[in-house]
Amino acid sequence: MTFSRVIGTGSYLPEKRLTNSDLERMVDTNDEWIRIRTGICERRIAADDQFTCDLAEQASLKAIEAAGINNSDIDLIIVATTTADQVFPSTACLLQHRLGIEGPPAFDVQAVCAGFMFALDVADKFIKTGSARCALVVGAETFSRIIDWTDRRTCILFGDGAGAVVLKADNEPGVLSTHIHSDGKYKDLLCVPVGVSKNYNLVHQGQAYTTMEGGEVFRWAVTAMSDIIDETLLANNMSKEEIDWLIPHQANIRIINAVGKRAKIPSEKVIVTVDRHGNTSAASVPLALDEAVRDGRIKPGEHILLEGFGGGFSWGSALIRM
């Protein structure tokens, strides 16, 4: 049987830091409120001439280098993003061209903050079924572009960034299982209610902004991300004690703490980047994974439970052995 295995990780954050003090000068908020309610101290914002594909490219180059492969070895590219450079071609096609790769399939996956989990699920299935042997899976966002910077309820939460992994076919797992879910009846609780086909005039006017019922999203995120831990462990007949690291979607430290508490996973085993990255949507999980791999916390052979949650609602998880 063929499995997929993570053989390299990479990430990229734009240089510009937007601190809570900076936000104090933009909207009626304060550092203490933001820290206490969200755990966020700063987030990164892409430069005006930097686009999602630029961030994806930098993260991908690092993942490819860490994997020790050539660009030409890649036979599948999936980019999870809500903030594609263009309506079309996909950001994955733009990335493919940047990397000088010709021929293999490249496409985007849109599941907002759960996007990386969906992309990983798809790539794992391509590899398991023999349709690909070496996949580049990226989560990349310039979420700052769909934020109303006069709305204090949302603008404090989000940031830009990218994370990537290289998945390779192997006789040993690797990715032990993936789990993805959606429930569209919650479509209005977290959304950008305009697009190409609907209310395009607002996009034209630069009015395509994220709207959110914060409290309800909070409650749902905790429930969904707690339940999917149980689902993932059950599928693998594993106990919580066997999880070396939990990497939850980085939306709010209170959500992360509540999920860890419900799952009875001690905070020392939970990777946290939300304090420095904010919510980078589809990039948040691979960014956190790469950080913990590079700083030596995550070691070969360890079991990592990754999980994402976002608009739709959509949510997902993966259990991987490094």
Contact residues toward ligand COA (CB under 6 A) are 29, 33, 37-38, 113, 152-153, 156-157, 190, 212, 214-215, 217-218, 221, 251-252, 279, 309-310
| Per-residue burial over 3-14, b = 16 or more CB atoms within 10 Å of its CB, e = otherwise | bbbbbbbbbbbb
* DSSP symbols for 137-153: EEEEEEGGGG--TT-HH
Nearest to 222 by CA among 197, 253, 200: 253
Rounded (5°) CA angle 245-250-256: 65
> Residue 80, Cβ neighbours under 10 Å: how many?
34
Using Cβ positions, the residue closest to ligand COA within the complex turns out to be 214
Single out the catalytic residue among 113, 134, 155, 179.
113
CB of 20 to ligand COA, least distance (A): 9
Q: Is residue 53 annotated as a catalytic residue, yes or no?
A: no
CB of 33 to ligand COA, least distance (A): 4
CB of 261 to ligand COA, least distance (A): 16
Q: Considering beta carbons, is residue 81 or 252 the nearer one to ligand COA?
A: 252
Single out the catalytic residue among 93, 134, 155, 249.
249
List all residues 6 or more positions away from 220 whose beta carbon is below 8 Å from its beta carbon.
186, 189, 309, 313
List all residues 6 or more positions away from 194 whose beta carbon is below 8 Å from its beta carbon.
200, 202, 203, 207, 208
CB of 258 to ligand COA, least distance (A): 11
Q: Considering beta carbons, is residue 37 or 133 the nearer one to ligand COA?
A: 37
Q: Is residue 41 annotated as a catalytic residue, yes or no?
A: no
Q: Considering beta carbons, is residue 252 or 273 the nearer one to ligand COA?
A: 252
End-to-end CA distance of the chain: 18
Q: Is residue 252 annotated as a catalytic residue, yes or no?
A: no
Q: Considering beta carbons, is residue 33 or 107 the nearer one to ligand COA?
A: 33
> Residue 296, Cβ neighbours under 10 Å: how many?
7
**Among all residues, which ones are annotated catalytic?**
113, 249, 279
